[in-house]
A and B are shown apart, each in its own frame.
Chain A
Amino acid sequence: MSYDAKFKVWRGDADGGTLEDYTVEVNEGEVVLDIIHRLQATQTPDLAVRWNCKAGKCGSCSAEINGKPRLLCMTRMSTFTEEQTITVTPLRTFPVMRDLVTDVSFNYQKAREVQAFSPPADLQPGEYRMQQVDVERSQEFRKCIECFLCQDVCHVVRDHEDNKPAFAGPRFLMRVAELDMHPLDTADRRPAAREEHGLGMCNITKCCTEVCPEHIKITDNALIPLKERVVDRHYDPVVWLGNKIRRRGA
């Protein structure tokens, strides 16, 4: 069953833009990305939108639908009423390039700032057999498709552009947590988490978890455990005292 839906789509670039009204045909079973493609095919051939897999696995079609960060390809039209006007805008945390496409290079910069996996220098390939219980905690984090919706929704950078240099964002703090929990990683990542990646700026309001299309428990399983590990290292007087005594005894 088809109907005509009302859409508002942001059109423009870094110099300015507007929300433009469109009426587009919607068919049963379609997602918002299908409608954006129909819009391109029938009314606005120059509409810029980034997309790839149409299956929620490539993380390309991130945008904001009615103000909420979502994947265009995973947002079913059946979640809206036929009378509802659907507003589609680019991600509002990153610089816009054109229409629905933003420049997400902030995230690649932050990815480069995380120290790579550091196994023991003398460990040869095949020498270590990973147990399932040791690896399953990080497997959750490996589901990340890098859609950067968590980075987009995080108010630390969304509402404060000036925090961008000091804050890695939930996606990369999760990466730090993943590496810190790895049985073979030799780096102590806790000082860097606090001083270089801005873990203390996270006030765990859980928006990253709310928008994650892979349903990764970013806050409960990565950010809070990482905060607790930093507490182990930097704020626990019992640990501090123990280390002091051990050093004196050595």
Chain B
Amino acid sequence: MAHVPFSGGVHAPGRARIAARTLREDRWWLQPLVTFVCFSAWLLYGLVRASLQKDYFVADYGYLTPFASPCLSTSCVPGSTHFGTPFGEWPALIPFAALTLPFLLLFRLTCYYYRKAYYRSFWMSPPACAVPEAHVSYSGETRFPLIAQNLHRYFFYAAVVISLINTYDVLHAFRGKDGGFGLGLGTLILLANVVLLWCYTLGCHSCRNIIGGRLNHFSKHPLRYKAWGWVGKLNARHMTFAWITLGSLVVTDAYIALVSSGTIGDFRFIN
């Protein structure tokens, strides 16, 4: 598709000649600014925590942070390797979860909600509705690299596998100091986090399409229609879960870091 140079947007010939590029008087800039700050802070936190390779596991209660799961190397703290140690010594600064974190990041990066959020806040395309974007030409998601947004569903499949791994990690967190059943505040935080991660993952637009959205005859597929309805309910709150899970991941990781480093003790309900 050929693109001619900047054509003036709202100042294009024939349109009402209004000097101001936007006449919006509300604080339209606030939402993209907040999104920009929060996403940047989250990425910085995740990068630092995942690279540190420190305070990611509480051996007494089996708490493993999602930022280091699955831990598959001999460098991992004993007990944190829920899936064995197929890899030898792990290089410094490379996250233990280097096999899964890129897929999780790509799942969120290509997510339809996050796309809206960062196109607005990072790329200003557009920063807000009826506010002109900052770019002279626009080809949307028709060319490389943005055409790769169409791969979202593959990262969705990967995210399902990773959510299963996180769920398995939670089962390990139901452990007391003596090795028997136990329940602490950390267990509940890990459990809440994984439930929220499932709500976000299964509410994905690709999941909605795969489950039933691609059908034209719902009446011939009553079970898939039912499942499509359930996914639709989660999908309607996809933005909410996208934000909540960013927070729940940080809370989970920070709690485990604090307990693991001995800064605070875990509040135990049972054993």
Residues of chain A whose beta carbon lies under 8 Å from any beta carbon of chain B: 10, 12, 14, 16-17, 19, 64, 66-69, 87, 89-90, 92-96, 102, 131, 133-134, 137, 153, 155-156, 158-163, 166, 180-183, 185, 198, 200-207, 210-211, 219-220, 224-225, 227-232, 234-236
Contacts and interface: CB of A to CB of B under 8 A. Distances in A.
B217 A96 contact: no
A92 B16 CA distance: 6
Contacts of A69: 129-130
A207 B235 CA distance: 18
B153 A236 contact: yes
Contacts of B1: 166, 198
Interface stretch (B17-25, B75-83, B193-201): B17-25
Interface of B: 1, 3-4, 6-10, 12-18, 22-26, 112, 115-116, 119-120, 125-126, 129-130, 132-133, 137-142, 146-147, 150-153, 205-206, 208-209, 213-214, 216-219, 225, 235-236
Contacts of B216: 134, 180-183, 185
Contact of B15 (A94, A200, A206): A94
A231 B153 contact: yes
Contacts of B140: 156, 198, 200-203
Contacts of B152: 231
30 contacts: A10-B16, A16-B17, A66-B25, A67-B22, A69-B129, A69-B130, A87-B23, A89-B23, A134-B216, A155-B132, A158-B10, A160-B9, A183-B217, A200-B140, A200-B141, A200-B142, A200-B147, A201-B139, A201-B140, A203-B119, A203-B146, A205-B129, A210-B129, A219-B116, A220-B235, A220-B236, A228-B205, A228-B206, A228-B208, A234-B150
A205 B218 contact: no
B195 to A, nearest CB: 23
A74 to B, nearest CB: 17
A203 B125 contact: yes
Given A156-B138, A205-B125, A68 B116 contact: no
Given A10-B16, A134-B217, A219-B116, 8 more contacts: A66-B26, A67-B24, A67-B25, A89-B18, A131-B219, A160-B138, A225-B213, A228-B153
Contact of B130 (A206, A207, A236): A207
A109 to B, nearest CB: 15
Contacts of A163: 3, 138
Contacts of B153: 228, 231, 236
B138 to A, nearest CB: 5
Contact of A232 (B137, B146, B209): B209
B177 to A, nearest CB: 47
Contacts of A156: 138, 140
Contact of B23 (A64, A153, A155, A158): A64
A232 B210 CA distance: 9
Contacts of A89: 16, 18, 23
Contacts of A134: 216-219
Given A66-B24, A200-B141, A95 B125 contact: no
Contacts of A95: 14-15
B3 A162 contact: yes
Given A153-B129, A153-B130, A161-B7, A204 B24 contact: no
Contact of B126 (A90, A92, A94, A205): A205
Contacts of B120: 205
A67 B29 CA distance: 14
A48 B255 CA distance: 63
What are the 8 closest A-B residue pairs judged by CB atoms, nearest first? A67-B23, A201-B140, A67-B24, A95-B14, A228-B209, A207-B129, A131-B219, A200-B142
